[in-house]
Structure 1
Amino acid sequence: MQKNGIDLSTKYQITLYLGSQCNLHCAYCHREASDGEGGITEEFLEELKRNPPGSIKFMGGEPLLYMKEIRKVVAAVPKAKFAVSTNGIGIEKHMEYFREHRFQICISYDGAEKDLRGYDPFTALWDYPDLAVSTTLYHGNTDLGAIMDRFREKEKVIGRPLSFFPHLMHVTNEANRKYALTREDYDSILEQYKKYVGLYLSRLKRFGIKDLRYEGLYQTLERRWETHYTYGETYCSNRTIRKVDAQGRQYPCLYIRRHELSDNWLKDQQALLDALNPACRQCSVYGMCGGACIVSQEHALECRFYKALYTWFLKEGNRP
């Protein structure tokens, strides 16, 4: 059975964009604000009840500003797995609810020497069983070793380990361009990936030890290796993941909602990729990459970086 191009015979995933309101407005953020947000529609709630997803991740803006809407969705599909990606401001008053419904909480923390976010979520003990971290690399914050050192210092504060799965900042407007990763930044990040993933693999092969400092970097690559994207699928929108807004409309990107996808979403995304970079169709690492960020104004630089990284990873000896 198909709905909006998703195979409903398996439990699909939804990433739900609740709206653009935020209480931080980070300088490098790449979302476009929305006008006239109306909240979760009854029609969309009914669709979720008829075809319940296996998991739902709530995003914004800042999703904690939309707790009323989150509660509506959880009530409609209580058996789904839930996650929320948040800056953490005011989260204390919602913790009991998140525990009750076994949410994974993903906290934004960049580990930067000079913080651009304006809020530190890790200043006290965190007594919560399922905690993840979202880390953005941007110009001025690309030293992975230094970032990991700051993660270790924060672990002493909160009393638990922190995951390290960095992702790249995307240039989508002139306001955030000053934080764009340069060609030199990408080259540096590439060499650091090789260094730290190489250390992880050498210790795993020699001693059977998984070095937790670098495991996230390795797992980022391993998970991409296992995806096997077909042309038109992307990291953000593929056969198992739908990106939808509060009305249930599907997009290839929730931050830049310019292209609503039809039921034939794969063909729609193929057309977007053909217009963006026709070379993607023949790329040897498309199965891992999925076209990089298809809304980035610096797509060529991202493409160059991912092709080099994934080509290196696919070489003999760079996997267990």
Structure 2
Amino acid sequence: MKFLRRTTSTIFIMLGNSCNMNCKYCLQHPLVHEPLTKEINPEIFDFIKECTEENGERPVHLQFYGGEPLLYFDAIQKVVEKTKGLNCTYGIITNGRALTDPMVDFFNAHDIPVMISWDGPHVLQTRGFDSLNPRKPLRRRILRLNRLGLSSVISSKAYPREVLEAMQDVSNEYYSLHGYQIMVNLDTIFDTGLPNKELLEVDYGRVEKEMTDMAVLYLESKLSGKQNRQEYTKLSFMESLFYSLKNFYLDRNGVWNNVTCSCGNGYTTLNMDLMGNLYPCHNTSVKAGNIHDGLFKYLNAIWKGDPTKEHKEACLDCLAVAFCKGGCKLVSDKARKETYCKLKRAMFVPVLSVFQRYGEKLVGDGHGG
């Protein structure tokens, strides 16, 4: 074997850290201090090939990432061209602002899911630009994507219900064009050293109430067997939480014994720039090694930067652990105590409570097996 020996599920292709926006909650601002190279080391394609061969029948997922990845579209095309025929899948997370019609055609031709970061009705207050402005041609271009998803960051300017309802409006329009719905995802804001704390001033009571109501909506829909397409985005998001809970309690017997970060960053998820340098996370600029390193040397560098084991005792006492599984290794102890864990609990504990209330009915009706 020529390169780092590993078991890999995902490789984040870190294309560069330039961006055409300046989002207030960007977690990279405090973490990225060195520019990534734009030069491509051709050895990365041999490395990706070895990863796919070592994985056997399981594909390796290549996730294009920035900065803003669309600013590096030439590199995206090159990676797809050079990995064609390998057992891998692709995806991209983008703000969408630089999207062109040829890009849409390329993503559609290669069946690449495109996740657009968008925060709903108050997106101008969080991101400063609305990629889905109904009066702009960019919205029509985005809706032309065959595999479209929307992802939002919950903050003091973006609450779960209003965001999902705004996503529903987009999904309705998308459905009329494609005959199927968009993918949806909600993340929560967290402080990696943000200079402006305004978006961290979340009304936790409002979050708890909205999550409770949507959990009830989802479970009543399951029990009645009636699906309302106008509630698709809420139901879809709640379904993802239901299966996360099912996995934790039924498949893992409610046991959480992780000593490394649950996202797998640095372990089963590799973060690689175009030169073949490896990083603990795709949101940092401090290298942990490269594709030629021995596994022990590389993992030692990753392990030193992962404080998950230090939080284990506190996490085991928290009901939200079933969903967040120890959280992000980039968040400081101070940020965890002040905002991070509070928002995780506000998002997930109400859902757990509702699911527990309805649990026997669901399992009895065959939905939990």
Shorter-chain TM-score tier: 0.7 to 0.9
* Residue number in structure 1 paired with 2:274: 246
Question: Secondary structure in 2 aligned to 1:164?
Answer: strand
Change (3 A) 1:219 1:270: farther
| Aligned 1:283-298 pairs, distance under 5 A | 286=321, 288-297=323-332, 298=335
In 2, are the aligned partners of 1:63 and 1:86 still within 8 Å (CA)? yes
| Contact persistence 1:236–1:243 (CA under 8 A) | no
Match of 1:212 in 2: 232
1:304 to 1:120, Cα distance in 2 relative to 1, 3 A: closer
Write the distance in 2 (CA, Å) between the matches of 1:58 and 1:174: 24
**1:83 aligned partner:** 91
Give a deviation string over 1:16-60, Cα, whole Å, max 9, x none: 222210001112211133424213433323211222352111111
Q: 1:26 to 1:267 in 2, by over 3 A?
A: closer
The worse-fitting range, judged by mean Cα deviation, of 86-95 and 21-30 is 86-95
Equivalent residue letter for 1:149: E
1:312 equivalenced with 2:353 (yes/no) = yes
Find the residue that maps to 1:64 and give its secondary structure. Answer: helix
Conserved? CA contact 2:120–2:166, under 8 Å: yes
Instruction: Identify the structure with the greater helix proportion.
Output: 2
Indicate whether 1:189 and 2:207 are aligned.
Answer: yes
Q: Answer whether contact 1:134 1:166 (CA < 8 A) is retained.
A: yes
1:273 aligned partner = 308
Match of 2:121 in 1: 112
Letter aligned with residue 36 of structure 2: E
Name the SS for the 2:307 alignment partner: helix
Counterpart in 1 of 2:186? 166
Partner AA of 2:185 in structure 1? F
Q: Which residue of 2 aligns with 1:134?
A: 151
Matched, 1:145 2:161: yes
- Aligned partners of 1:257, 1:55: CA distance in 2, in Å? 22
Q: Distance in 1 between matches of 2:169 and 2:14?
A: 32
Q: Deviations over 1:108-142 (max 9, x none)?
A: 11103362323332234322221111111111222
Q: Distance in 2 between matches of 1:98 and 1:167?
A: 24
CA deviation profile, 1:69-112 (whole Å, cap 9, x unmatched)? 21232123224211111111231231222122111011111103
Q: Could you tell me which runs of 5 or more consecutive residues in structure 1 were left unpaired when the two chains were aligned.
A: none
* TM-score (norm. length: structure 1): 0.82
CA distance in 1, matches of 2:199, 2:5: 36
Q: Which sections of structure 2, spanning at least 5 residues, go unmatched?
A: 53-58, 290-296
Q: CA deviation at 1:64?
A: 0.5
The aligned amino acid for 2:340 is E
Task: Determine helix, strand or coil for the equivalent of 2:211.
Answer: helix
Map 1:47-86 to 2 at 5 A.
47-52=47-52, 54-78=60-84, 79=86, 80-86=88-94
CA offset digits 1:183-240 (Å, max 9, x no partner): xx33422332121021111121123436413223213313433376651132352864
Indicate whether 1:17 and 2:34 are aligned. Answer: no
Q: Is the 8 A contact 2:280 2:302 kept in 1?
A: no
Matches of 1:307 and 1:90, distance apart in 2: 36
The Cα shift of 1:68 comes to: 2.1
Q: How many aligned positions are there? A: 313
The aligned runs of 1:12-51 (5 Å cut-off) are 12-32=9-29, 33-39=32-38, 40-51=40-51
**Structure 2 length-normalised TM:** 0.72
Pair 278,266 (structure 1): closer, same or farther in 2 beyond 3 Å: farther
- SS of 2:215's equivalent in the other structure is helix
Cα deviation code 1:142-171 (max 9, x no counterpart)? 2x3322332333345554544432111121
Shift in alpha-carbon separation, 1:208–1:188, aligned structure 2, 3 A: same
1:99 to 108, 129, 133: 108
Counterpart contact for 2:168–2:232, Cα < 8 Å: no
- Partner of residue 302, structure 1: 340
- Who is 1:200 aligned against? 218
- Contact 1:49–1:76 (CA under 8 A) maintained in structure 2: no
**Which is worse superposed, 255-264 or 204-213?**
255-264
Is contact 1:169–1:181 with CA below 8 Å preserved after alignment?
no
